Structure 1
């Protein structure tokens, strides 16, 4: 990897007044479709749900207030192999604190982890123990937020994992912990391969069966796993349209996401609505209206609908190749070791993956994590299941996620 420029520069979020005025103007000029009577949410997010959100975004949401809060954090950018990487870096005041890399997914951003920063960097102030303190590094993945896509190839999760490891190197962190969700989980799983010996331990949330793969058999599953498998099978049949589009025709989709803020709003809000925990009736109830619209605003202002769609397209190409090779290696070995947290033999040939660090997973109420499918070899040392929250636990249930991170990372150096 070319690391000719090792500069790390301070960064400040500064969205122009012209961009804010343009957003409000476009929202005001929206041409709305009609709702079909009796269809509810079965065909997508209805106008009756989306229009009030759009009007609030236009008339009452205070981007400047959110921008000021975000700018209270220490932001930085660096360039790795021609790709600009934005990240938040908050050091703990505790001597001996370990570094922790936090990686978001789609349709999210670095904002997902804001509520974790205090409890992780200053656990004593939040009722925890000093020895649990960590320094946190929260990047915007290439193609997301303030890491604008520099060109093709940055959806390759191995390449992104290498860039994340390089960021940690530039910060002086030889060894580090890592946590990820969604796309971030996949990158976390690849970090030990691209940075052997450097990852102390990993933690992911909501590991799911391959979304473009076969349905999960219900045979022999207990009640909890049967419910997760049924949710996955329903998602595979009726909820993965967004993924098929982004994994096959990202450019065609991008015109709507780039030109219409309501299209971008609908594209994101629908997923938060469907993937947050069952205890919340609406996405804004689960994570807060300001947090939801801040996330959507970041996608809009940075043209993130276009770039994240292309990143997902490339990521799915790598994911499918990796899954196929891992499955082939598993079949050669009798199938016992296929898939799982260790990743198997990524080459499908004679190359042997480096030893993997201790790994853990947390599963929340709306997740589709069937351990027999995603971890058949029991590579996860810890598997914790919760009865609330969903795909965005750092926003929905930060208390549960922080407790899991403290527990699993305890004493690991």
Structure 2
């Protein structure tokens, strides 16, 4: 009991001590200097002219024809300057908490009673997997039932080790990252109470926050919950077991200065884990989306540090469910092609379109679910 109390006390203590708004610095993405080298490497990468096994099929990874198409587009039909300008349309900042630099988007609503909302990404999505939903969430929306207006102040950090946030110490797990991001919300941005949403590794971090900070996290939404891990067959079918789990430096160093290699490694996940209809209907996932995400990863030099997320968290999945010590409600959104789909009846909302990256695969549905959570928060907090 004493050890448990001490552990909970540690979790409730801001990582690295106090931080104030004065430490927050405006930030602009500026990676153009690396583009000529990127283009040279992509152009000079010699891929095979023919697939080794033409009939192998998608179960064995990305097909050569798709990778060659992406490579050609990257050289001849892709403009990083446009992507960078679109990123810089969002209000971005950095702050220092303890020894960690944290990069984040903070888009505020014009409504004075907007709901603070923290969005947590996973691998390999980065903050890019939430870009289509950020500004719509800041806009005032009228609930047809209550006739009340709902909007959000949206905070989207780069999880430590991704993009412009510094890499955490090697022994950090999601527990320490949860403490860091709670400090960002409550101390740096001064939101005493907030709602959160997490997907992939962001869902694992979000659940730690939901469980540990019950006075500040007052509503939580997930498209991934770290319970009921997939079966061995699911793992095999979806290529979930990255060897980065045990050997992050091997894949990290091998692909560190290999953009086409990163494109194959990251791109296969973005394709396999998304709705097969990606790029149609509500989905914004297409080849440009994939090139945007991989370009961000390569140009920021964070491929290796991002895959370390797997190694630092070998126990990220939980085998036993223990009800968190909180009275805050939890929402779960199920998207048809999410590789981590819980059984029917477990979730609150089911959507027949979309996959693992809901923020880019079915933005309207995710916005709708988050607004439902916002209705509760506005009425009860």
Shorter chain as denominator, the TM-score bin is 0.7 to 0.9
Give per-residue Cα distances to partners, 1:51-103, cap 9 Å, x unaligned.
11011112221101110111111110012231111000011001211100000
For residues 273 and 105 of structure 2, the distance between their equivalents in structure 1, rounded to whole angstroms, comes to 26
Match of 1:202 among 213, 220, 231: 220
Matching of residue 319 in structure 1 with residue 316 in structure 2? yes
Deviation at residue 126 of structure 1 after TM alignment: 12
TM-score when scaled to structure 2? Answer: 0.86
C-alpha contact (below 8 Å) 2:92/2:106 kept by paired residues: yes
Q: Judging changes above 3 Å, is the alpha-carbon distance between structure 1 residues 127 and 299 closer, same or farther for their aligned structure 2 residues?
A: farther
Q: Judging changes above 3 Å, is the alpha-carbon distance between structure 1 residues 281 and 116 closer, same or farther for their aligned structure 2 residues?
A: closer
Deviation at residue 401 of structure 1 after TM alignment: 0.7
**2:112 matched residue in structure 1:** 95
Equivalent pairs counted in the alignment come to 357
For residues 272 and 11 of structure 1, the distance between their equivalents in structure 2, rounded to whole angstroms, comes to 27
For residues 342 and 354 of structure 2, the distance between their equivalents in structure 1, rounded to whole angstroms, comes to 18
**2:365 matched residue in structure 1:** 400
**2:287 matched residue in structure 1:** 289
For residues 267 and 106 of structure 1, the distance between their equivalents in structure 2, rounded to whole angstroms, comes to 12
Query: What does 1:352-391 correspond to in 2, within 5 Å?
Result: 354-369=325-340, 371=342, 383-391=348-356
C-alpha contact (below 8 Å) 1:208/1:367 kept by paired residues: no
Q: Judging changes above 3 Å, is the alpha-carbon distance between structure 1 residues 280 and 244 closer, same or farther for their aligned structure 2 residues?
A: closer
Match of 2:266 among 265, 268, 271: 268
For residues 4 and 405 of structure 1, the distance between their equivalents in structure 2, rounded to whole angstroms, comes to 30
- Single out whichever of 389-398 and 36-45 deviates more from structure 2: 36-45
C-alpha contact (below 8 Å) 2:204/2:226 kept by paired residues: no
Query: What does 1:186-265 correspond to in 2, within 5 Å?
Result: 186-207=204-225, 211=229, 215=231, 234-240=233-239, 243-265=241-263
Deviation at residue 130 of structure 1 after TM alignment: 6.0
C-alpha contact (below 8 Å) 2:32/2:81 kept by paired residues: no
C-alpha contact (below 8 Å) 1:365/1:387 kept by paired residues: yes
**2:12 matched residue in structure 1:** none
For residues 43 and 369 of structure 1, the distance between their equivalents in structure 2, rounded to whole angstroms, comes to 20
- Single out whichever of 242-251 and 23-32 deviates more from structure 2: 242-251
TM-score when scaled to structure 1? Answer: 0.80
Question: Which structure has the higher relative contact order (CA within 8 Å, separation 6+)?
Answer: 2
For residues 252 and 210 of structure 2, the distance between their equivalents in structure 1, rounded to whole angstroms, comes to 33
Unpaired stretches in structure 2, ≥5 consecutive residues: 1-14
For residues 278 and 51 of structure 1, the distance between their equivalents in structure 2, rounded to whole angstroms, comes to 20
C-alpha contact (below 8 Å) 2:222/2:332 kept by paired residues: yes
C-alpha contact (below 8 Å) 1:148/1:302 kept by paired residues: no
Q: Judging changes above 3 Å, is the alpha-carbon distance between structure 1 residues 46 and 278 closer, same or farther for their aligned structure 2 residues?
A: closer
Deviation at residue 289 of structure 1 after TM alignment: 2.9
Q: Judging changes above 3 Å, is the alpha-carbon distance between structure 1 residues 281 and 61 closer, same or farther for their aligned structure 2 residues?
A: closer
**1:131 matched residue in structure 2:** 149
Deviation at residue 160 of structure 1 after TM alignment: 0.7
Deviation at residue 371 of structure 1 after TM alignment: 4.0
Unpaired stretches in structure 1, ≥5 consecutive residues: 216-232, 328-337, 345-352
C-alpha contact (below 8 Å) 1:180/1:188 kept by paired residues: yes
Give per-residue Cα distances to partners, 1:338-379, cap 9 Å, x unaligned.
32xxx45xxxxxxxx532520010001102455459x9xx6x
For residues 339 and 226 of structure 2, the distance between their equivalents in structure 1, rounded to whole angstroms, comes to 6
C-alpha contact (below 8 Å) 1:278/1:365 kept by paired residues: no
C-alpha contact (below 8 Å) 2:158/2:165 kept by paired residues: yes
Deviation at residue 286 of structure 1 after TM alignment: 5.0
RMSD: 2.6
For residues 348 and 194 of structure 2, the distance between their equivalents in structure 1, rounded to whole angstroms, comes to 21
For residues 37 and 258 of structure 1, the distance between their equivalents in structure 2, rounded to whole angstroms, comes to 29
Q: Judging changes above 3 Å, is the alpha-carbon distance between structure 1 residues 119 and 26 closer, same or farther for their aligned structure 2 residues?
A: same
For residues 281 and 100 of structure 1, the distance between their equivalents in structure 2, rounded to whole angstroms, comes to 27
Match of 1:58 among 61, 75, 95: 75
